[in-house]
Structure 1
Amino acid sequence: MLLKTCFPAFLAVALLTFSSCKKKKSDNPAPSTQEETLAFVLPDVQLGKYNIAQDSTYALKLNITSKLPEKGVKVTLNVATETGNIPLGQDDIADIKATPVTITLRHLKPLKTYEVTVKLASLGNTGNVTAPQVFYLTNKSAE
């Protein structure tokens, strides 16, 4: 008799326990696509060393060696005089969606040396940023 009255209550508690532990599909978000860590090379320059420009412009080739992010890449370019660290304004660089890319440095003054810093950042993931690559560029023209 006791079994007949307790069994339905036990069964109800067991069903409620199992159904509450069951995971719902909305609890598990779809896995996001992971971006490969950005990496790039500047094949025409010697990093950390002095390079030579023959006039007021210098074409700089940039190759992204990692998988290109779906939304593209933003290039940050800083050009400043080696002594005094006076910035030299450059044209805006369009977001990169394919590689290789040529970036043209402009307004280089004769017989001046500039510190050039290049850094990339993913447009789809703000945490995917490269370490800056630095080189020096001297305009050897004597206008």
Structure 2
Amino acid sequence: MLLKTFLPAFLAITLITFSSCKKKKRDNPAPNPQEEALKFELPDVQEGKYNMALDSTFTFKVNITTKIPDKGVGVTLNVVTETGNIPLAQDAVPDVTANPFSITLHHLKPLKTYAVTVTLASFGNTANTATPKVFYITNKSNQ
């Protein structure tokens, strides 16, 4: 008698368990090819440390170490004084489709130190943004 009571309940729980674990094709469409997470390096500068410019301009190389997205990469450049965080306007960096590429800082005042932040973001996927890199640059010229 006990078997008649528990057998239907056991079979129902077993059936529900197996049917809920089974994956259905309509629930999992074909995956879209995703972009590789953006990563880059700045081989010409020491990240997080102080670097030296010999005049009012400074050019450095950016090397994207992952595959460049099909739609390209946008570069955001933020240059501010180390003390006071006063922005120093810079020319816009063109959209990137080739690797490596160079960025030139302009208007560096003599004997001033600037914090430079470089950020890369994919045009095809707004969530694909590389971790920003920061370095400091001091114009050591007297003029």
Fold conserved (TM > 0.5)?
yes
Structure 1 residue aligned with 2:120: 120
Following TM superposition, the consecutive aligned residue runs of length 4 or more in structure 1 with deviations greater than 4 angstroms are 27-30
Instruction: Supply the distance in 2 between the matched residues of 1:41 and 1:87 (Cα, whole angstroms).
Output: 24
Instruction: Supply the distance in 2 between the matched residues of 1:112 and 1:56 (Cα, whole angstroms).
Output: 10
Structure 1 residue aligned with 2:48: 48
**Corresponding letter in the other structure for 1:123:** F
What are structure 2's unaligned runs of at least 5 residues?
A: 1-24
**Corresponding letter in the other structure for 2:63:** N
Structure 2 residue aligned with 1:94: 94
Structure 2 residue aligned with 1:20: none
Query: Helix, strand or coil for the counterpart of 2:119?
Result: strand
Structure 1 residue aligned with 2:60: 60
The CA deviation at 1:30 is 5.3
Structure 2 residue aligned with 1:71: 71
**Corresponding letter in the other structure for 2:40:** F
Residues 1:37 and 2:75 are matched in the alignment: no
The CA deviation at 1:128 is 0.3
The CA deviation at 1:47 is 0.5
Instruction: Supply the distance in 2 between the matched residues of 1:121 and 1:134 (Cα, whole angstroms).
Output: 16
Instruction: Supply the distance in 2 between the matched residues of 1:53 and 1:106 (Cα, whole angstroms).
Output: 11
Larger Rg: 1
The CA deviation at 1:32 is 1.8
**Corresponding letter in the other structure for 2:69:** P
Percent of aligned pairs with the same amino acid: 67
CA deviations on 1:103-124 (whole Å, 9 max, x unpaired) are 0000000000000000100000
CA deviations on 1:62-107 (whole Å, 9 max, x unpaired) are 0000010000000010000000000000001111001000100000
What is the root-mean-square deviation in Å for CA atoms of aligned residues? Answer: 1.6
Instruction: Supply the distance in 1 between the matched residues of 2:30 and 2:105 (Cα, whole angstroms).
Output: 43
Q: What are the residue-to-residue correspondences of 1:10-21 with 2, within 5 Å?
A: none
Structure 1 residue aligned with 2:106: 106
Structure 1 residue aligned with 2:135: 135
Instruction: Supply the distance in 1 between the matched residues of 2:48 and 2:92 (Cα, whole angstroms).
Output: 24
What are structure 1's unaligned runs of at least 5 residues?
A: 1-22
Structure 2 residue aligned with 1:9: none
Instruction: Supply the distance in 1 between the matched residues of 2:30 and 2:76 (Cα, whole angstroms).
Output: 32
